[in-house]
Structure 1
Amino acid sequence: MAATLRVLPGFARTRPCPVLWGSSVSWSASNMALAKQAWQLFESAVGAVMPGPMLRRTLAVDTETGQLKVRDRNFQLHHNLYLAGFGKAVLGMAAVAEELLSEHLVQGVISVPKGIQAAMERAGMKNMLLKPHSQIQVFEGAKDNLPDRDALQAALAIRDLAEGLTADDLLLVLISGGGSALLPAPIPPVTLEEKQLLTKLLAAHGATIHELNTIRKALSQLKGGGLARAAYPAQVVSLILSDVVGDPVDVIASGPTVANEHNVQDCLHILSRYDLRAALPRSVKTVLSRADSDPRGPPACGHVLNVVIGSNSLALAEAQRRAQALGYQALILSTVVQGEVGRLARFYGLLAQAAGVRLSSQAMKITKEEDELWDLVEELQLSDLKLEEVLEAVEGAKGPVCLLAGGESTVKVQGSGKGGRNQELALRVGVEMSGSTTRDWEALFLSGGTDGQDGPTEAAGAWVTPAIANEAAAEGLDVAAFLANNDSNTFFRRLQGGVHLLCTGLTGTNVMDVHLLLLRPC
């Protein structure tokens, strides 16, 4: 069984978790098959958004005219190309960009996660590494996806590069998820520590990524169009790998090459919502008080071309094709899943129950649960989810069903445990499903971060079945206590040797999270 699982070549298994295959845990053949297929679908989703293929689909150089073609725009190259980048996928993106454009590349600076080069080297992922004597300078920082002094040094180097450009130059900007933490350059007198503390407070209170970025942009030299302003009058081309629901370019990495549409009142409204205005450092109050009267004004970004080259939608589409090849009726539920993990877990638990009953072709419908499910769809604002069509498709299915979704949940941190949004979501969904099983169908839910890192842990996420609560009870593990302490990683590590953890190592890409719900008649 172990030999049948092929790890995606782009995955760096630097600190592998225990895996199901070949373990001493007693599993039914059907559970093993479901878990194996869930792994394959997750791998296919991540493989579709690896940096190399995406850049090669986007960039083309006409060697005769010396022009760079980006989608339907042409830019003249004559040894006038500079490169800046920041994000979890940028190392691989930069390697491909330099391979394609090295003849014209003068200089580059990129900011990437701490330890990523060594991880890629250990994994043999040479295609994700820059060549020796590269023109691109690499800074590593933002350990555990938090801005730090190393990331600040990188951000200032990128600022200096941009400010030195002329109207004859072209700046290629590579942006991916994690870019915001890797590009911290607070407006003085705000310090990095003060900005970091405010971001942590907002995140701990459940602020959304949109709210976090609104605050970050207001306090940053480079975000909210600041990098575009620094590079003017040079032309700027930004290639963006989206890690934000809906792919808004002004939100991804806090929009360093997109004009900022938010103002101070938007910031104050967010801070008031989470009752944080009284806790603001004096420096933050100073910067916010003068922001709307900044003599530089908002950057006019007419010299910028922003192109989204990869997204969660692309990853889900590939997973759907793979699921269909495995014999599943595969449906994409939504690409804009967001919200608090407890409510999302309830949604997936109810969906599994409703779909399972439909899949079993039982005459009696669970109207109470389906009514609640409809309410949750509205509450979670799953605008692209057509629930009735999904349930009707499930009811008419002749075999197993795979329901796919993507987005990013939020966790309101109340404990001191170790975990991440994907592991906590999976555990909560397992609890929800445990109370609604039938004898006619089996289910598996998987939630994984496409970057390979779920919070400050070695796991990308986890998978569960409705048996998770019984398995925990048999080993004396109190699920509720672990959840109350936001300690999902410790729970999964202790349960059956950690076989439920999804461990890939750093993948070299990032397009938010992938959720899989596999349903199969018994």
Structure 2
Amino acid sequence: MARVLSLFRPQPVLALVGRRIRPLCRMSMDSRAREVFAAAVEAVQPDTVIRQSIERKDDSLIIDGHKFTLKHNLHLVGFGKAVLGMAAEAEKIVGDHLVKGVISVPHGIQQTLKQHGKEHLLLKENSRIKVMEGAKHNLPDADAQNAAEEIKRLASELTEKDLLLVLISGGGSALLPAPIPPISLQEKLDVTRKLAAAGATIQELNTVRRALSFLKGGGLAHHADPAQVVALILSDVIGDPLDLIASGPTVRSEVWPEEILSILERYKLLNSMPASVNDVLGRPGPRWKENKDESDTSGRVLNAVIGSNTVALKCAGRRARELGFRPVVLSPGVCGDVRLVSKLYGLLARFAYSLVEPPPEIAVEVLKLGPEVGVESWDLCRTMQVLDEGRTEGWGATCLLAGGEPTVELTGKGRGGRNQELALRMGLELKGLELPPNGPVFLSGGTDGQDGPTEAAGAITDGGLYEEAQTQGLDIDKFLTNNDSYTFFSRLSAGQRLLVPGLTCTNVMDVHMLLIPAIPINIR
């Protein structure tokens, strides 16, 4: 048992940073938290995930355990915020076997990458891939629709000898708008907005959106038939559901018009639909019946999630271990109101910091909160067991990691985002937990580098935040009421607690981190 436990104890106080070695004793908890977050982001860089997912062996590609023969027969399409870097790396790997490519990326992304010194994520001048920018402000527009038409045209011209490599990342849905004629793009947008305003669920919205689109819900794979389709996906959705990421263009989703009519009727919108929508929904039978034979394309489509919050947390845990922490991943699917999420993390911190056996009521409350924030009871029990063993057996410092995408109830008009508000609320939850002097530190950051309409990705907090705010005349409750977390952290100690990584070129939702130092033996 002693040998097993020793594996989890912090290793000698040295950590590799780049090619240098520096003593951890000189690194603050804040610095170590930032390094762990940086490792999470680095793990899901667009070029990194492609390089780790595609293996080139002579004239073959190995992807997700499957072998594909290259005979100058590879075509490439892509859509999403991270797709440009994914495409650049993919072209390096496949070389002249690439015949042609078309990608739909956010407006201005190429110039932005140049300005931030990210040239390695840009295509070479002689690239065979056409870059089309669109979807200003992350909304479908005419430019994005033109790109979708080109992608559809490329896919439709393929034969059974061709291989279509599809690159997908967050934001792909807005960059691939292809309403079924005679529906216009504006009409399709109006329908989904009316449903959202009426209280339709995300599942219902996606069902309607897919039914009115040529390419969503498996439409792209259908148009590429009979070619082999391989989709590499960088997920920005909790649970990595293939049919929801970019609305599942390579995932067959058979939708019947009757199902859509039922949803519209449920929200009393049936009589307010444009004539074009009624025309499309009036066509009999399931979707895809009209253009090609109803053959099942599933055997010729491979969907592989190559980057996700889970991947980011795994690499963050590896870096935490190098920095002297024992990592434990709670869940990559945290959701729900940030007030409940912060309450859960606060309870776990107090559970870990109990000098004697934690009061049973803490565990009971943790398990009660779990379902409300998307965390399974089994994961909570496993995490509490690790925290308890660390406390009683002296395993040392612990790094609790989680991810997901919580929500914020807007009650004010301030600036901020869910990560900064979660960090601010955690400052209240950790109040009084300053034992030992290096008390627990909490970080919440968006892997896309932007939290709400601010330059920050999130913020870092600890048990001393409340007192520090009082000293500087900042009323935390007022800032929370106004949803003004960015202004709070900007004013507090000249913004030193803000997390500002800059352009990250990726997005796998958020990373939450609670660093719990070892409690000295003389205190225990």
TM interval, shorter chain, is 0.7 to 0.9
Letter of the aligned partner of 2:278 in structure 1?
A: T
2:424 maps to 1:427: yes
**Offset at residue 516 of structure 1 (A):** 0.5
SS state of the match for residue 455, structure 1? coil
Other-structure match for 1:48: 43
**Offset at residue 462 of structure 1 (A):** 1.9
Q: 1:327/1:469 Cα in 2 relative to 1: closer, same or farther (>3 Å)?
A: same
Other-structure match for 1:342: 339
Q: 1:59/1:438 Cα in 2 relative to 1: closer, same or farther (>3 Å)?
A: closer
2:55 maps to 1:60: yes
Instruction: Give the Cα–Cα distance (whole angstroms) in 2 for the partners of residues 280 and 495 of structure 1.
Output: 51
**Offset at residue 280 of structure 1 (A):** 6.7
**Offset at residue 504 of structure 1 (A):** 1.7
Equivalent position to 2:356, from 362, 367, 376 = 362
Instruction: Give the Cα–Cα distance (whole angstroms) in 1 for the partners of residues 382 and 180 of structure 2.
Output: 50
Letter of the aligned partner of 1:510 in structure 2?
A: N
Letter of the aligned partner of 2:28 in structure 1?
A: A
Instruction: Give the Cα–Cα distance (whole angstroms) in 2 for the partners of residues 429 and 264 of structure 1.
Output: 47
SS state of the match for residue 335, structure 2? strand
Other-structure match for 2:7: none
Any conservation in 1 of the 2:371–2:377 contact (CA below 8 Å)? no
Instruction: Give the Cα–Cα distance (whole angstroms) in 1 for the partners of residues 106 and 333 of structure 2.
Output: 26
Other-structure match for 1:225: 218
1:477-496 deviation digits (Å, cap 9, x = unpaired): 44344434443333333333
1:22-79 deviation digits (Å, cap 9, x = unpaired): xxxxxxx99981111111000111112223332233223343xx33332332333322
| Structure label with greater radius of gyration | 2
**Offset at residue 337 of structure 1 (A):** 1.7
Other-structure match for 1:483: 480
Instruction: Give the Cα–Cα distance (whole angstroms) in 2 for the partners of residues 82 and 157 of structure 1.
Output: 13
**Offset at residue 476 of structure 1 (A):** 4.2
**Offset at residue 517 of structure 1 (A):** 0.8
Any conservation in 2 of the 1:229–1:299 contact (CA below 8 Å)? no
2:150 maps to 1:142: no
Any conservation in 2 of the 1:88–1:451 contact (CA below 8 Å)? no
**Offset at residue 173 of structure 1 (A):** 0.4
Other-structure match for 1:307: 304
1:103-145 deviation digits (Å, cap 9, x = unpaired): 1212111122233222322232232111012111112233443
1:192-233 deviation digits (Å, cap 9, x = unpaired): 445546666777899876565444323322111111112222
Any conservation in 2 of the 1:218–1:291 contact (CA below 8 Å)? no
Equivalent position to 2:154, from 161, 184, 198 = 161
Other-structure match for 1:126: 119
Other-structure match for 1:182: 175
2:501 maps to 1:508: no
Instruction: Give the Cα–Cα distance (whole angstroms) in 1 for the partners of residues 279 and 429 of structure 2.
Output: 45
Once structures 1 and 2 are overlaid, which stretch shifts more, 316-325 or 208-217? Answer: 208-217
Other-structure match for 1:26: none
Query: What are the within-5 Å matches in structure 2 for residues 67-146 of structure 1?
Result: 67-146=60-139
Q: Percent identity?
A: 50
Instruction: Give the Cα–Cα distance (whole angstroms) in 2 for the partners of residues 204 and 483 of structure 1.
Output: 26
Q: 1:204/1:307 Cα in 2 relative to 1: closer, same or farther (>3 Å)?
A: same
Provide TM-score, normalisation by structure 2: 0.82
SS state of the match for residue 333, structure 1? strand
Q: 1:71/1:392 Cα in 2 relative to 1: closer, same or farther (>3 Å)?
A: closer
Equivalent position to 1:467, from 440, 461, 464 = 464
**Offset at residue 344 of structure 1 (A):** 1.6
Q: 1:39/1:195 Cα in 2 relative to 1: closer, same or farther (>3 Å)?
A: farther
**Offset at residue 515 of structure 1 (A):** 0.9
Any conservation in 1 of the 2:85–2:122 contact (CA below 8 Å)? yes
Instruction: Give the Cα–Cα distance (whole angstroms) in 2 for the partners of residues 110 and 7 of structure 1.
Output: 36
CA RMSD of aligned residues (A): 3.5
**Offset at residue 376 of structure 1 (A):** 0.9
Other-structure match for 1:408: 405
For structure 2, list consecutive stretches of 5 or more residues without a partner in the other structure. Answer: 1-14, 19-23
2:278 maps to 1:286: yes
SS state of the match for residue 406, structure 1? strand
Other-structure match for 1:259: 252
Q: 1:80/1:243 Cα in 2 relative to 1: closer, same or farther (>3 Å)?
A: same
1:413-471 deviation digits (Å, cap 9, x = unpaired): 4544433332232223333333x635447122111122222233322222222333444
Once structures 1 and 2 are overlaid, which stretch shifts more, 73-82 or 35-44? Answer: 73-82
SS state of the match for residue 425, structure 1? helix
Letter of the aligned partner of 2:455 in structure 1?
A: E
Any conservation in 1 of the 2:180–2:280 contact (CA below 8 Å)? no
**Offset at residue 271 of structure 1 (A):** 7.7
Equivalent position to 1:328, from 321, 325, 328 = 325
For structure 1, list consecutive stretches of 5 or more residues without a partner in the other structure. Answer: 9-28
1:361-405 deviation digits (Å, cap 9, x = unpaired): 234x34334322110113334237532332232233232211001
Any conservation in 1 of the 2:450–2:456 contact (CA below 8 Å)? yes
Instruction: Give the Cα–Cα distance (whole angstroms) in 1 for the partners of residues 196 and 408 of structure 2.
Output: 8
Letter of the aligned partner of 1:39 in structure 2?
A: R
SS state of the match for residue 236, structure 1? strand
**Offset at residue 190 of structure 1 (A):** 4.7
2:433 maps to 1:437: yes
Q: 1:197/1:492 Cα in 2 relative to 1: closer, same or farther (>3 Å)?
A: farther
Any conservation in 1 of the 2:460–2:498 contact (CA below 8 Å)? yes
**Offset at residue 285 of structure 1 (A):** 6.2
Q: 1:416/1:293 Cα in 2 relative to 1: closer, same or farther (>3 Å)?
A: farther
